[in-house]
């Protein structure tokens, strides 16, 4: 059986006998290696982002939740990779890049075009690091090899121009949600993952859909504060790692929080999601400042920042 992909990189139904006549952009997938199958007329769209940034700039994003239904999110993210990060040192994706990732053999849209765009970005020399989220915790070594991205453990401490910054997806901080923490421990168990990945893709899809339905129902019945981060968990992890700055996602509540800890001011930055058309959150971290802004496909890369801060006013934790 020969599989075909259309200009969006999506698999085309094999029953379409008149495929080539109706869709001249479609090509057999065996002619399109997974790491380099988009080129020329197969590019899904032309980028509309026009930006100007300097080096000594790092971008941090989270909770993009790429999926086959919301094409606008996919197109904005691909524009971001193709043009928005050309003059950037590093990009950190703090989990839930994909809304559902059922293994590195999951070739459903939009996985292939996104992996290709990531590969092209890393080939240009941009360092891209990725954390697992609760929707894409099965990202693995094949994903790393194909894209050139680096999967980091959660949490990780990174150096941003002389500042030690703790990054995490953020769900480990939601300790009040005990049922979720039990679920998280299970899905991150290596034996559980091996058994799940041994199943045929069709069975994985069915099981994942069932879990998602149960999860959505559980979320509807939980108080909002239970699903937010726990203050003590935040303080404990920042003290454990001895950091002054922490960046996380998961809660989708974009904000910059400054709190006093052991007599010092520490900063917790929360990244938002990419669901809303004009409110796709990005943290822009430069040598002396950081700011929360938004990514768009329009002329501006980020709009008026939601909040900016000078790094010089903060002192490191002892």
Annotated binding site for substrate: 134-135, 177, 215, 222, 250
Binding residues: 63, 65, 96, 134-135, 169, 177, 215, 222, 250, 252
Which of 181, 210, 251, 9 has the alpha carbon at shortest distance from 102?
A: 210
Please, what is the Cα angle at 237 between 143 and 170, to 5 degrees? 45
Region class of 161: left (phi > 0), else alpha (psi between -120 and 50), else beta = left
Q: Are 235 and 261 in contact (CB under 8 A)?
A: yes
Q: In whole angstroms, what is the distance from residue 106 CA to residue 255 CA?
A: 33
* DSSP 8-state secondary structure symbol assigned to residue 154: S
155-161-164-165 Cα dihedral, nearest 10 degrees: -40
Q: Residue 314 is encoded by which pair of tokens?
A: 């903060």
Q: Binding-site residues for Mn(2+), please? A: 63, 65, 96, 134, 169, 250, 252
- Angstrom distance (rounded) from CA 238 to CA 113: 37
Question: Are 141 and 178 within 8 A, CB to CB?
Answer: no
Instruction: List, as one string, the DSSP characters of 221-251.
Output: TS-GGGGSPPHHHHHHHHHHHT-SEEEE-SS
Instruction: Determine the Cα–Cα distance for residues 14 and 133; give it in Å rounded to an integer.
Output: 33
Query: What is the DSSP code string of 253-305?
Result: --EEEEEEETTEEEEEEE---S-STT-EEEEEEESSEEEEEEE-SSS-SS-S-
Closest CA to 51 of 243, 239, 231, 282: 282
């Amino acid at each position: 059986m020969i599989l075909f992909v259309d200009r969006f990189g999506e698999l085309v139904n094999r029953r379409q006998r008149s495929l080539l006549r109706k869709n001249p952009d479609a090509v057999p997938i065996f002619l399109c290696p997974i790491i380099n199958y988009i080129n020329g007329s197969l590019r899904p769209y032309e980028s509309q982002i026009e930006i100007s940034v300097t080096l000594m700039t790092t971008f941090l994003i989270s909770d993009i939740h790429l999926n086959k239904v919301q094409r606008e999110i996919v197109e904005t993210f691909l524009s971001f990779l193709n043009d928005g990060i050309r003059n950037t040192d590093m990009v950190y994706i703090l989990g839930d890049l994909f809304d559902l990732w059922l293994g590195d053999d999951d070739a459903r849209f939009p996985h292939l075009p996104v992996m290709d765009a990531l590969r092209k970005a890393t080939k240009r020399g941009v360092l891209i690091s990725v954390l697992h989220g609760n929707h894409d915790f099965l990202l693995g070594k094949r994903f790393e090899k194909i894209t050139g991205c680096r999967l980091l453990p959660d949490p990780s401490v990174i150096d941003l121009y002389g500042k030690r910054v703790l990054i995490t997806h953020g769900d480990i901080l939601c300790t009040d949600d005990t049922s979720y923490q039990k679920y998280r421990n299970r899905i991150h168990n290596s034996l559980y993952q091996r058994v799940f990945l041994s199943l045929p893709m069709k069975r994985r899809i069915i099981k994942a859909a069932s879990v998602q339905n149960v999860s959505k129902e559980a979320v509807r019945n939980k108080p909002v504060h239970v699903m937010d981060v726990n203050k003590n968990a935040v303080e404990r992890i920042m003290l454990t790692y001895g950091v002054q700055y922490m960046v996380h996602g998961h809660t989708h509540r974009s904000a910059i929080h400054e709190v006093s800890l052991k007599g010092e001011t520490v900063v917790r930055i929360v990244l938002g999601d990419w669901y809303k058309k004009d409110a796709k959150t990005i943290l822009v971290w430069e040598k002396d400042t950081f700011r929360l802004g938004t990514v768009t496909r329009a002329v501006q890369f980020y709009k008026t920042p939601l909040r900016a801060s000078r790094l010089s006013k903060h002192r490191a934790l002892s």
